[in-house]
């Protein structure tokens, strides 16, 4: 244990260091040595508290996911109508890019493609996001003619995939304008759907 730190403080420091390493250096750069150096902890404490570096990476992903879950749910609760939901999603996308939240998930997804230990663990952590997206879309489309054309589960899968893909491309290309333009286009379509929905009432 690091001098002067409790066990919980040490674990928290390691998780925060893992998040920062994944966000700034990518999965390949989030080694035990790098995380230990960032946290100010002995490298052996990673294995003492988490068993493996992969389990620490997953704990980092869980911490980011929990924080974003709170933010996303608040966003949905504050958004009334599909167009408001799209505008809020655009703002959160900008926020995620600025703070590197989704980068952690993207790095873990990329790593899971080649790591049998990580693959089922990361996949299990994405399923709740798809369920959340499906519930949000279902509520936003309720009473809209689009509800029959856009099954919530299928649309949620597309939304999650698109969001992650846009995040990856924005980071790769170093610009977010094309992604934001798509959100703006989606917002215009959503506004039309909201109008149809109101007229049907």
| pLDDT in the model for residue 40 | 94
104-128 confidence digits (pLDDT tens): 988 999 999 999 889 999 999 998 8
Q: Each residue of 151-180: pLDDT tens digit? A: 778 888 888 888 888 888 888 888 889 989
pTM of the entire predicted model? 0.80
pLDDT at 12: 96
Cα–Cα dist 147/165, whole Å: 25
DSSP label at 108?
Answer: H
Q: How many CA atoms lie within 13 A of 42 on its CB side?
A: 10
Q: What is the pLDDT of the chain when averaged over all its residues?
A: 86
Determine the Cα–Cα distance for residues 123 and 109; give it in Å rounded to an integer: 8
Would the pLDDT of 68 be above 90? no
The pLDDT score that the predictor gives to residue 16 is 97
How many CA within 13 A on the CB side of residue 87? 10
User: Residue 12 and residue 163: Cα distance in Å, rounded?
Assistant: 28
Judge residue 66's burial from the number of C-beta atoms within 10 Å of its C-beta, 0-12 exposed, 13-18 middle, 19 or more buried. Answer: exposed
Per-residue confidence at 149, pLDDT binned at 50, 70, 90? Answer: confident
pLDDT, residue 51, reads 96
Report whether pLDDT(76) > 60: yes
Cβ contacts of residue 144 below 8 Å, gap of 6+? 82, 193, 194, 196, 197, 200
**Rounded mean pLDDT, 58-77:** 89
pLDDT value, residue 31: 96
58 and 115 Cβ atoms separated by less than 8 Å = no
What is the tens place of the pLDDT at every residue in 85-103? 888 888 888 888 888 888 8
Among 188, 189, 179, 191, residue whose Cα is nearest residue 93 = 179
In three-state form (DSSP H/G/I as H, E/B as E, the rest C), the secondary structure along 158-196 is: HHHHHHHHHHHHHHHHCCCHHHHHHHHHHHHHHHHHHHH
Q: Is 154 exposed, middle or buried (0-12, 13-18, 19+ CB in 10 A)?
A: exposed
Residue 150 has pLDDT above 80, yes or no: no
């Amino acid at each position: 244990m690091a001098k002067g730190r409790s066990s919980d403080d040490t674990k928290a420091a390691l998780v925060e260091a893992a998040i920062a390493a994944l966000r700034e250096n990518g999965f390949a750069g989030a080694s035990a040595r790098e995380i230990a150096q960032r946290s100010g902890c002995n490298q052996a404490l990673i294995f003492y508290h988490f068993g493996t570096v992969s389990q620490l990476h997953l704990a980092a992903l869980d911490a980011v996911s929990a924080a974003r879950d709170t933010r996303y749910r608040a966003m949905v609760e504050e958004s009334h109508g599909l167009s408001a939901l799209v505008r809020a999603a655009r703002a959160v996308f900008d926020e995620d890019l600025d703070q590197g939240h989704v980068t952690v998930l993207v790095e873990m997804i990329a790593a899971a493609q080649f790591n049998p230990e990580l693959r089922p663990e990361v996949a299990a952590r994405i399923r709740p996001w798809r369920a959340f997206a499906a519930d949000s879309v279902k509520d936003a489309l309720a009473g809209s003619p689009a509800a029959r054309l856009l099954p919530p589960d299928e649309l949620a899968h597309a939304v999650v995939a698109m969001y992650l893909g846009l995040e990856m491309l924005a980071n790769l290309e170093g610009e977010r304008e094309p992604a934001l333009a798509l959100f703006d286009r989606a917002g215009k379509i959503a506004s039309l759907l909201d109008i149809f929905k109101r007229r049907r009432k």
